[in-house]
Structures are given as structure tokens and as C-alpha cells.
Chain A
Amino acid sequence: MTKMQISFLAIAVLLCTVVLAGCGGAPAVPAPQEPAAAGAAAAAIPNVEFTQQVVRYNTIADYEAATGNKITEFHQAPMLDALVAAGTLPPVEERLPAEPLVLQPADTIGEYGGTMLSGGDGESWAQEDLLREFPNTYGSDMEGVWPNVFMSWEVSADGKSTTFKTRPGMKWSDGEPFGVDDFIFWYEAVAMNKELSPNGINELLVGGEMGTMTKVDDTTMLMEFSAPYGILTQRFNRWREMPYLPAHYMKQFHPDFADKAALDAIVKERGYTNWTELFEAERYWYNNPSIPTIFAWKATTASASAALLEYERNPYYWKVDIAGNQLPYIDKESLINLGNQEGIVLKAIAGELDYQHQEWLGGPINFPVLKQGEQAGNYRLILQKGWSDTAGTVNFNMSIDDPVLRELFNNKDFRIALSLGFDRNEINEVVYNGTFSPSQPAPPDGGIYHGEDPAFLQYIEHDVDRANEILDGLGLTWNSDQTQRLLPDGRPFELTAQANSDGIGSPMAVAELMVQGWKDIGLTAAIKPQPGDLQMERRLAGDYEIQIGSANVGGQNPIIAALRGVAVPIVPDWMINPPWAQWVMSDGAEGEEPPADVKRLYEIHDEFVAEPELEKRIELEKEIFAIHNRNLWIISALKAPADLESVWYSYFSNRMYNIPNPVAPEYYYAVPSTWSKHSD
């Protein structure tokens, strides 16, 4: 072929491939709307003080009773005006429920319009955080049990049954009514279905049996259990499995409600192998444009792996602000999928994002570079209430086969010696710039549980002499050149520490410094980096000596000590010692019998679940912490501060306003439907 022909062919191929690529990608959606002009903002509202946090009023009547102001008419976003005028949407008064939730925004009545851009990916929790509507919720201060999807409830005297009321007139995003039928459908189709939930739903299993959900009328539902279930309403504050589904839509995907042959045809046509896959894919609100939703925005992008996920206003959203404007203010949410965190950080520095959760920004390490770019990028970093995670937690294999190590690990003095054997202050300076605080596993400072209490701060000094004294007393003599200790049976005192390589708070760095410190007391520890789920597997298999990682023992909502598998033995891979947890969970059938304190912890969990009174539950939690402090089964190096901006921060563009300050740890509690964006 001549040169001309080759060049021509090359150019043709080039053009073809570009055309091919242009054809690839997500299916077409309508062009994005222009941000609307200023919405129906009311004049200054009397008796209302904007507090930089969102204030909730359960119903319009509650708002009127609290402030004396009346809400006389409702307004909607201008982007919906055309649809209502054309008759495709009913007017806003008919779309709202009879009892909408009333919210007071953080700064001012917002303007309608705008698109919020964030970074995330299709299967992370980034979009879930912004959208989900739990039946109840915590307040912005992460306390209390506030009605959300539920309007009210009544608990029976014996705590075994609760009657819930939903909001009358509430509708799904396609206009169909939302009510108790949708909860009952979830119960029958998901909770009681043997294929989707082979062993029932944990949160409904109280007293050994699954509870029941029955319809009393269209807006009233009764839940009954065989044992008292005091924390049921609080459970609904943050239960990822939201117990409602659009019955009228999902019935077609369930064999109990749909024609088997038709269902099989759909399964085959869509490329799934069985109906459970189809059902799970369809019910995932965040990636399915077809399913009706009650969230503030509804998905318009079908694929979880699309490069840009988009969510558009739900015209039937059931919340209004104090001026009667139907929420949300913002028209559209977008999540750009960049596949990795560094890309998101770069976009954040460039000022191209509107908001970003701390989890995606890399934590304290990136705080300086993000702070530096605030002016140029026109954004701000806000304190996001954080978790007082404990970094450098060391757990021991208490059921290890080796009898010498087993005796040592089970000896509290040995653990104390290891705790005294490294310098927490040095680790704090090196890894965390001095922002953390030396502590054993503890709840946050202040608040109800006072993590700064000395009971949580035992043996945090760096006392090499005392540690050496203890180890001498345990029969661990030094070897001949005084470099290392020997176990009582003469073997060198060496341990392998499996360190969490992908945990929060850089446990690897902490582990390395801890190990260096232990050299002075005669322990030679080798570090083996492992990702967190591998650590879990090894714990289950009993294949470890000590593990180093990070953990959160609880004491701040929604991380409740009595309900999480860190402080109490309710998971089979319990950090403190899996066989002990397996013993209590199986009533002695599996595992190893634990000390009495562990059995008590398990009892506390059951009592906590049944206990309806908040004060008594707080007492139970305090007991949990006391037991842990007494036994010191796990030791740790440092505790993160829960309220330090350089550790816990969230990113917001300066175009965004009505952002609570400080913002709650999960956006859901900060109520993104009241966030607003300036249209320039």
C-alpha cells in the first residue's frame, strides 16, 4: 500500500474509534434544567431565630404551636410550574401529605434551584448518605428520637408492642399513595421471605422470634414482639434496611405476588440468573430510575458504574420549610465517579465540587492542602462532628493453642506491661501532629460518658521500668545479651502483630512505633500488614497472635456500645476473643466458655434491647465501659478528638448556604433537603 493509502486508512480508523467511543456511555437523558430564578422566598419571619442548625417540627400544628406563625399556603420550585400548568403534575397542595414535616433551615429561607456536585462512586455510601429517609431520626445534635417517615407512635405498657402512624396523604414519587401497605409489603416480601432473608432480619429478632407487623388501617401499623423491645423506635433512627418498599411497583418482581412465568421472563431478559438478583437490583433506590421513592431526589441514571450519577427533584417530597416552600431547594444532585480518592481531592482543591464528605477527602492528612486552597477554590471546610475512634488498638488471641502464650495473653498484668511499654506522646506527635490524645479504648470526651475520666486512662504512661518489673515477675527473663526476653519455657519472646493496612487513622504507622517501643521491654514483634476484612477472617480462624488496628467502642450516637460488636460479644469475630462470643451466642454449643464478665456483657446487650427508658439504658452502657476498664482485654494507644476541624472536616463550596455548622457526621442528620445553592 502506498503512503497515501496508509495515511487515509489511519485517519479513517481514528475517526471510527472516536465515533465508537462517543456512542458508548450511559443512555440519553433530557438536558439539564437551568437553575431556577429566585423561588418563593417569604419576607422576614417573626418569632423565628435561625441558629445555623436545622430545627424540626413534626407537623404544621407543632410549628404553629411553637412559634405562633401560621403556614397558609404552599409554594413549589419553578422547575415544576410548567408541569403543573400542563396538567402532568397535580398542584403542590395535592402533592404534599396532609401532615408534612416542617423544617427550619440553618441560615435563611432558601432559594430554589441549582445542581449540587459531589464526588463518589456508584456503590459507595456517598449517595445513600444524602438521600435516605429512615422511619425515625436523630436530631442534628445526634440525640433523641424524632419522627421522620413515621408521624407518631405509642408503646404498650409491657414494651412488647408499638403502634406506629404514618403521614396521611403522603405519596410516592409517581403519585401513588404511601402508607402502611408499603411497610407490610416489605415485611412479607423481604423479612419473611426465605430466599431473601434465610434467617430472618436481625433487628426484628427479639426474644428468639421474628416480630410481626400488621396493618390496623391505611396509616396505622402495629408491631408486636414476644419480648419487650425498648429500643425499637431508636433502632429506626438508623437502620440501613429501610423497612418500606413501593408495593405497587415491586410486586411484579416477587414470586409471591407476580405471575411466575412473567417474572422468569423478565429475569431472563435482563440477564440475571434468579429473581433475588433482579429484586435486589430493582429495590436499590440510588441507581434505579424506575422505582418510586420518597427521598428528596430521585435517580435518573440507571447504572451503578456510570461516570456521572444524577438525581432530580422528587415533586412529591413530603417536607416543607417554615414558609410553606416544598423542599428540597436544590433541583438536582450529581455524583461524579472518578474511581479513586485522589481525583476527588484534586477536584475539591480546584473548587469544582459543591460538597464532599470527609470520608472521601483523605482525612487529617489532606487537611493542610485543602485548607490552603480555600481562597483560590472558593470553598470552605466546616467541622463535621466526628468519631472518637481509638487508634492502635491491640487485641490478643486469648484462645491461642500455644499454652504459654495463652496463659500470658489471659493475664491482665501482661497486657498492662505491654500498655506501659511504648510512648503514646511520641506516636501522637509523629502520626497525628499532636491532635489525638493518649487513651485506652474510650467514648468521646464530655457528653454523657466522659471519655476523659481517669478510668479510661489507666496505664497510658510510658513506664519502661514498671513494665520490665511486671514482665520479670511473669517469668520472662532476659536472654544472655540482654537484647530480648525469653518466654518461661525458653523460647524467644517474639510475636507477630497483624496490623490493619486499610483502617481509619493510619494504624500501620502507629503499629510500627508501638513495636519499636516494645523492643525496650524485650519483646520483638514483627508487623504483618493486612486489610481489615482479612484481619476479620484470621480472627475467625484463630490464626493470629496479636492484631493491631483501630476501633470505636461507642458512646456516641449512632455508635452505641451495647449494640455494636466491639464492646459486646454479639458477632462471631468479636475483637476481644471470637470463641468467647461464639459461646455466648450459641448458648454454649460452640466456642469456649468465657469469664463471667463476658457473659454479663451479653446479658447487658439483651437488657439494653428490651429497656424502654433512656436513663436505664445509659446506666447499662456505663456498666459496659466499667467492665472493659476493669478487665482491659484490649489496650490502645490514642483516641481521636471528636470535634477537631483538622481531623474531622467537610467540604462545602462557598456557593452553598444553609449548611449547618458544625455539620452532622452523616449528612442525613444535617438534612440536605434544606441546603441551598446560589445560582451564580
Chain B
Amino acid sequence: MLPFIAKRLLLMVPTLIIISFVGFIIIQAPPGDFVSSYVAGLQRQGDVIDPELIAGLRSRFGLDQPLHIQYWRWVSNFAQGNLGYSMSLRQPVADIILERLPFSVTISLLSLILVYVIGIPVGILSATRQYSLADYTATIISFLGVATPSFLLALVMLWLLFVWTGNAQLGLYSMEMQNAPFSLAKMLDLLNHIWLPALIVGIGGTAGLIRTMRANLLDELPKPYVTVARARGVGPTKLLYKYPLRIAINPVISTVGYTLPDLIEGEVLVSLVLGLPTLAPILLRALLQQDMWLASSVIMIQAILVLIGTLLSDILLAIVDPRIRGSI
């Protein structure tokens, strides 16, 4: 097991290097750079920026260096833990990310938990009561969930809630709690607000999970060993949970790996719609303004999260499935 984990961790390094390179190139792809978008913004406001100032800004930020030097400077700093300086927000990138990362991670994790907490039982229900009303209801809701894009769902829910309650359910805290110190009241306020984004982000995954769970279980249930166990008098609950479920759940656990990127990406769109203080709005603005270090660092953080998530799911699968444990 340990060599397996060590090998995977080592493999992460070249993956991250490639991601950093590709990300950097794409961010730099549009003509111009942060200074040109900053100057364009100022000119829209009516200020005339003379060319010497522009050149001065460029040299201060190191934007007049050739591309590979800029890349090397950023990557070597990143490897040492210095994430760079955000030109648009005038702060070290690390400060910005640390402020927003907990929210991003929380929403993704909460969605993941919701997906499993809702998906698995409903999937089991769907399989054991195949073709019943419960099954059809679950099926219809899951298809709707898969088909609707998360940002559309967020918009619709936002509007519905506004029409019903007259409040705009934006952000993660209410006004008074926003900058208050951490307390039980603040946590409750957070719970009050966070269920909506977690639900919306998770609903697509829930739908997928219900269908997968149902299909896997339906594959297992007709198998001969189940019939034999039934005939030998094993109780229905134990019968269901101890054997077929353990086998049916394998694919579900191994797919955590690619549910996680979906969640992180889904969280981006939903955060933008709902005005959440996560990394998503920061990333979007950084990309639009070509705030290079901020954008690259956020992308790297997200990539690291995804890679760690995938690794964790593989480890989990190895723990759960003895066949895989034996083969690694």
C-alpha cells in the first residue's frame, strides 16, 4: 500500500508541472497583459495614462521580461511557497487564497457529502423497489438534475427564493455576521446560507450517483449467491448490506475521483451566480484582467485539490476492495 501511495505522490509532481505550464501559457495567450487592461480601465474612467508610466508599471511588475523568464520566476517562487503578488488586489496572493479557500473547500466537501448521503440511500431504494412509484420519482428527479446546468438551477432557485421570501439569498452570511468574530451564531448563520449552494452544486452528482447505484445493485441482486443466501435464511437487511452493496459500491467510490473536479468546477459557476466569497469570482476576474500570478496560483491550487482528491479516492477504493488491495 505504502509504495503505491508513494508512487502516486511522485507522479503528481510532473502532472502539476505540466498543468502549471499549460495554465500559464493560456493565461498569457490573449494579447496584452495586466497593465494594458488596467490602463484601459483607467482610460474608460477618463484618465490619460502616458506611455512612460505604462512602461514603468510593466517593468515594476516584471511584465516586460520574456515569457519563459516570467514563467520561471513564478514557478520557482511557487515551489518555495511564495505565491506572488496580485497586481489588481494589491495583496500577496497567498493572503487572498487563504481567505477564500476554506469556503471553496467547504462548499465542495459539503456537496460531496450531500451527494453521498442522499444518493446512496435513494439509489438503494430505487433498486430494491424497482419500477415502483418511488423508483420512478427518483428517476425523474435525477434526470432533471443531470440535465439542468448548475448555474441555471442556481439562477432559478435564487429567483424563486426571492419571489417567495423577498430576500436576495446572496453571499454566505447575513450583513451583521459578515465581519463578526467566529461564534456559534456565526456558524448557524453560515449553515442557514450554505445549504443552497451545496445543494445546487451537488444535485447533478446526486442524480448520477442514484442511477449508478441503482444499476450496480440491480446487477448484483439477481446473482445466484443472493438467491442461495436468501434460501438459507439470511435476513433481508443483512443480505442487502453485507454482500451486494459492498460490491455495488466499488464503482461509486472509485468515481469520487472524477466527481471532485465536477464539484470544484460546478462550485465556480454557482459561486458566481450566488455571489459567494469563494475562489471562483477571484479567478474569473484575475483571468479577465490577466492578473497573472493570482490566476496561475488559483489554478494550481485547484489542480492540487483535484489530484489529492483522486489519490484519496484511489486509496479509499484500495481499502474497500480487497481485490484491488491485493493487486497493488
A residues bordering B, Cβ < 8 Å? 3, 10, 13-14, 17-26, 28-29, 31-32, 117, 121-123, 125, 195-200, 202, 205, 238, 240, 270-273, 276-277, 280-281, 284, 287, 301, 303-308, 310, 334, 336-340, 342-343, 346-347, 349-350, 352, 376, 504, 532-534, 536-538, 541, 552, 558-559, 563-565, 570-572, 585
Contacts and interface: CB of A to CB of B under 8 A. Distances in A.
A350 B167 contact: yes
Interface in B40-79: 40-53, 55-56, 59-60, 77
Contacts of B42: 240
Contacts of A563: 48
| Residue of A24, A287, A350, A534 with most chain B CB atoms under a 10 A cut-off | A24
B170 A343 contact: yes
B53 A199 contact: yes
Given A199-B56, A339-B271, A340-B281, A272 B92 contact: yes
A270 B92 contact: yes
B299 interface: no
State the main secondary structure of chain B at its contact with A. Answer: helix
Contact of B173 (A304, A307, A343, A532): A307
Contact of B50 (A22, A202, A349): A202
B274 A198 contact: no
Given A308-B178, A570-B48, A572-B51, A533 B40 contact: yes
B102 A346 contact: no
Given A200-B52, A340-B281, A350-B167, A277 B85 contact: yes
B168 interface: yes
Given A198-B55, A271-B94, A559-B46, A17 B99 contact: no
6 contacts: A13-B109, A14-B110, A277-B90, A303-B96, A339-B272, A533-B32
Given A10-B117, A301-B179, A536 B167 contact: no
Closest 5 pairs between A and B when the two form their complex, measured CB to CB: A24-B102, A199-B52, A339-B281, A338-B275, A28-B181
A366 to B, nearest CB: 15
A25 B194 CA distance: 14
Interface stretch (B17-25, B182-190, B200-208, B259-267): B182-190
Given A21-B105, A284-B90, A534-B30, 5 more contacts: A25-B179, A196-B60, A199-B53, A277-B90, A536-B39
Interface of B: 30-32, 36-37, 39-53, 55-56, 59-60, 77, 82, 84-85, 88-92, 94-96, 99-103, 105-107, 109-110, 113, 116-117, 158, 162, 166-168, 170-173, 175-176, 178-182, 186-187, 190-191, 194, 241, 271-277, 280-282, 284-285
A563 B48 CA distance: 8
Nearest to B189: A22
B124 to A, nearest CB: 11
B91 A304 contact: yes
Contacts of A281: 90-91
B179 A123 contact: no
B48 A564 contact: yes
A236 to B, nearest CB: 14
A178 B123 CA distance: 70
A25 B103 CA distance: 8
A200 to B, nearest CB: 7
Nearest to A13: B113
A63 to B, nearest CB: 32
A306 B113 CA distance: 27
Contacts of A195: 60
Contact of A306 (B99, B194, B241, B280): B99
Contact of B167 (A19, A240, A352): A352
Nearest to A533: B40
A595 B158 CA distance: 58
Nearest to A276: B60
| Residue of B46, B59, B85, B187 with most chain A CB atoms under a 10 A cut-off | B46
A240 B94 contact: no
| Residue of A195, A205, A287, A571 with most chain B CB atoms under a 10 A cut-off | A571
Given A20-B106, A305-B100, A337 B52 contact: no
